[in-house]
Amino acid sequence: MRTIVAGNWKMHKDRAEALALIGVLKDVQVPTGVEVIIAPPFPFLAMAVEELKGTSIRVAGQNCHEKAQGAFTGEVSASMLASIGVTACIVGHSERRQYFGESDAIIGEKIQALLERGITPIFCCGERKEERMTGSHFDVVTEQMKGALRMFDNDALKKIVIAYEPVWAIGTGLTATAYQAQEMHGHIRALLHTHGASVAETVPILYGGSCKPDNAAELFANPDVNGGLIGGAALDAHQFSELIRIAGERERSAAIR
Ligand code: PEP
């Protein structure tokens, strides 16, 4: 299974800054077996697609609307993203759940819209701090997965990327330990197994939450951590390039095993 390094830029950077970062990334040697995805803000997506032509780096949206078109002021559809060459899209990020009230059912509809347009959904799930403190984190993630993914058959599930992002670790500098990450990724893998081994062995599970060059090697060394969804460190060309290199190390050691 490939190792993915995906960068979520959130609402950061202006045009010149975006161009500068993309300019560095397009010269990065992407190691064999590693897939790199960047998710800049909507206004810079078409430019990113254009600038990254001829490289293997994929461009992702950070969100999309569940409907194909209509009177939804301020929204962007999956078909619009597909029409400019975007091939992946983050859905269900905890910030969308928290600030925009996105439910698991809506997230499921967004995934459906993306799959219909041939776009890879990067489905985010993860528990809040109080849920971990009370020991309900496995149940919370199980419910999020069931709520958003229950309508999909195995062929559809195999096209999805999952990102486990404990909310208490996002942008806080707190990271799940390698043990905590593997424990939850193993749980998610077991849930995927209920759909059959072919689903469990196909769907990458990324870790997100203050993942940086100084902790990535330990996190990525876990058997069920297939790379990272990166926020803060994706805004810095050096740190993001370093994460791509570390993902390459993971691929190399997997090849030796
Ligand atoms: C994210 O928001 O997806 C994320 C992982 O952010 P950070 O790396 O900054 O915690």
Length of the chain: 257
Q: 3-class DSSP state for residue 203?
A: coil
| pLDDT at position 256 | 66
CA–centroid distance, residue 138 to ligand 1 (Å): 20
Nearest protein Cα to ligand 1, atom 7: 231
Which parts of the chain sit beneath pLDDT 70?
A: 256-257
For a ligand 1 pocket test, name from 62, 95, 229, 240 the mutation site with the most ligand atoms within 8 angstroms of its C-beta.
Answer: 229
**Ligand 1 pocket at CB < 6 A:** 8, 165, 170-171, 208-211, 229-232
CA–CA gap between residue 2 and residue 116 (Å, rounded): 23
Taking the centre of ligand 1 as the mean of its atom positions, its distance from the CA of residue 256, in whole angstroms, is 30
Whole-prediction pTM: 0.96
Q: How far is the CA of 33 from the centre of ligand 1 (A)?
A: 23
Ligand 1 centroid–CA 71 distance in Å is: 31
Give me the pLDDT at residue 257, please. Answer: 61
For ligand 1, atom 8, the nearest C-alpha belongs to 231
Q: State which of 170, 215, 236 you would mutate to test the pocket of ligand 1, scoring each by most atoms of that ligand within 8 A of its C-beta.
A: 170
> In this structure, which residue's CA is closest to atom 1 in ligand 1?
231
**Annotation marks residue 251 as catalytic:** no
Neighbour-count burial of 33, counting CB atoms closer than 10 A to its CB (0-12 exposed, 13-18 middle, 19+ buried): middle
Query: Which 8-state DSSP code applies to residue 151?
Result: T
Q: Where are the alpha helices (DSSP H) in 30-122?
A: 45-51, 78-83, 94-100, 104-116
List the residue whose alpha carbon is closest to atom 2 of ligand 1.
231
Span from the CA of 204 to the centroid of ligand 1 (angstroms):
18
Beta-carbon count within 10 A of 190 CB: 13
| CA-closest residue to ligand 1 atom 4 | 231
Our answer to whether residue 193 is catalytic in this structure is no
What local confidence, expressed as pLDDT, does residue 111 receive? 98
Q: What is the pLDDT of residues 121-158, one digit of tens each?
A: 999 999 999 999 999 999 999 999 999 999 999 999 99
Phi-psi region of 232 (alpha: psi -120 to 50; beta: other; left: phi over 0): alpha
Rounded distance, CA 20 to CA 35, Å? 21
Region of residue 190 (left: phi > 0; alpha: psi -120 to 50; beta: else): alpha
